[in-house]
């Protein structure tokens, strides 16, 4: 019998007096990681963290813009910057005992951003973060984290990020145990001929409200190359310094090898931010990006775009695909 995901309770809102410090959170997450056994039917943390009165540090914003290739000095926040503002709240949740996935080696696999209106760098914000759901993935278990930013009580920005903890799915574990006992392999169930009542397991995630359906990034012709970037070995360390995301897979070849990567890899959020900086500024937009393959550091990548679609690739290997759509279009 297939295990049904647990019913998610209504989240409890917890308001923080100050932003959490990232260093102890990352240390706690690293210590708890070996104790966690990820599975998609684990209980979802039922807390929504809220931080009010958030002001943008303009010097930090300028450093972020330089690392990601955005034009500096503009009053409007880059479309990806609220993710960095809320990152300490996300780490507070994902480094806690209630979060069922190990923080070490966690891979960012996709993000959907809705910017309802342009966000000023001089505005005061309220940030909220919660884990929306857990779901099975062909390589393990994936968590969806919802982040929101409000100004004067109105929702101005929101995102849904998916994070993958890689592990062998439970059905593979069961097959391995049966083989060790000498039991015959399980016979796969015959597929039902009836039409499915709901979305298939391989269906794309639901589109946030206000964003029109996105075109498939896989078309008959590759997108035309717009720019080529030579990425230095320290891109992960530089982005980690401005974002606070110091996951070992991004920092050094030796620490990246501990998690199965031949070299350090670029942050997914750096990759999408760099692409959006090249794409150009937009006001009220919906952005969707999928991180398909890691970008090894150092390396050379090409940015390609046509119309609403963009991608990052090296040769024929596609690292990232995405779309940018004006809201209401």
Please state the pTM of the whole predicted model. Answer: 0.80
Nearest to 324 by CA among 268, 281, 274: 281
Nearest to 111 by CA among 273, 308, 310: 273
Nearest to 142 by CA among 162, 167, 160: 162
Residue 7 has pLDDT above 80, yes or no: no
Higher pLDDT, 107 or 240: 240
For residue 189, what pLDDT is reported?
Answer: 44
The region of weakest confidence among 96-100, 138-142, 208-212, 265-269 is 208-212
268-279 vs 58-68: helix crossing angle, rounded to 10: 80
CA angle 314, 104, 247 (to 5 degrees): 55
Structure tokens at 63: 């450093």
In the chain, where are the structural domains located? 12-170+217-326
Residue 14 has pLDDT above 80, yes or no: yes
* For residues 238-258, average pLDDT: 91
| Total count of residues recorded for the chain | 329
Higher pLDDT, 282 or 4: 282
Q: Structurally, what CATH architecture does the domain formed by 12-170+217-326 represent?
A: Roll (3.10)
Higher pLDDT, 220 or 309: 309
Average pLDDT, the chain: 84
Nearest to 300 by CA among 222, 228, 225: 228
For residue 4, what pLDDT is reported?
Answer: 54
Residue 182 has pLDDT above 70, yes or no: no
At 226, is the pLDDT very low, low, confident or very high (cuts 50, 70, 90)?
very high
Residue 186 has pLDDT above 80, yes or no: no
Nearest to 241 by CA among 121, 99, 66: 66
- Highest-pLDDT range among 211-215, 255-259, 288-292: 288-292
For residue 318, what pLDDT is reported?
Answer: 96
Contact indicator for 141, 39 with CB cutoff of 8 Å: yes
Higher pLDDT, 249 or 301: 301
* For residues 190-200, average pLDDT: 40
Higher pLDDT, 211 or 109: 109
* For residues 42-61, average pLDDT: 95
The pLDDT tens digits of the residues spanning 85-99 come to 999 999 999 999 999
The pLDDT tens digits of the residues spanning 56-88 come to 999 999 999 999 999 887 788 999 999 999 999
Residue 177 has pLDDT above 70, yes or no: no
């Amino acid at each position: 019998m297939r295990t049904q995901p647990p019913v998610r309770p209504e989240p409890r809102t917890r308001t923080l007096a100050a932003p959490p410090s990232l260093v102890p959170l990352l240390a706690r997450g690293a210590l708890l990681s070996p104790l966690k056994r990820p599975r998609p039917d684990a209980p979802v943390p039922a807390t929504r963290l809220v931080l009010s009165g958030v002001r943008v540090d303009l010097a930090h914003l300028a450093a972020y813009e330089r690392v990601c290739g955005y034009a500096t000095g503009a009053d409007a926040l880059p479309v990806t910057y609220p993710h960095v503002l809320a990152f300490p709240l996300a780490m507070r949740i994902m480094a806690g005992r209630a979060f069922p996935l190990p923080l070490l080696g966690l891979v960012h696999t996709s993000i959907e951003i809705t910017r309802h209106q342009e966000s000023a760098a001089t505005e005061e914000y309220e940030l909220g973060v919660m884990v929306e759901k857990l779901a099975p993935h062909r390589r393990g278990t994936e968590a969806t984290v919802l982040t929101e930013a409000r100004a004067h009580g109105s929702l101005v920005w929101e995102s849904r990020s998916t994070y993958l903890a890689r592990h062998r799915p439970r059905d593979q574990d069961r097959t391995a145990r049966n083989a060790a006992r000498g039991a015959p392999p399980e016979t796969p169930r015959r597929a039902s001929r009836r039409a499915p009542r709901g979305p298939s397991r391989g269906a794309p995630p639901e589109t946030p409200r206000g964003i029109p359906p996105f075109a498939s990034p896989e078309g008959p012709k590759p997108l035309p190359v717009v720019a080529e970037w030579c990425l230095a070995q320290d891109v992960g360390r530089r982005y980690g310094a401005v974002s606070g995301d110091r996951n070992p897979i991004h920092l050094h070849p030796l620490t990246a090898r501990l998690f199965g990567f031949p070299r350090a890899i670029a942050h997914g959020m750096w990759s999408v931010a760099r692409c959006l900086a090249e794409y150009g500024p937009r006001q009220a937009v919906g952005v969707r990006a999928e991180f398909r393959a890691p970008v090894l550091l150092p390396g050379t990548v090409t940015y390609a775009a046509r119309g609403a679609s963009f991608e990052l690739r090296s040769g024929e290997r596609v690292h990232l695909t995405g779309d940018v759509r004006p809201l209401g279009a």
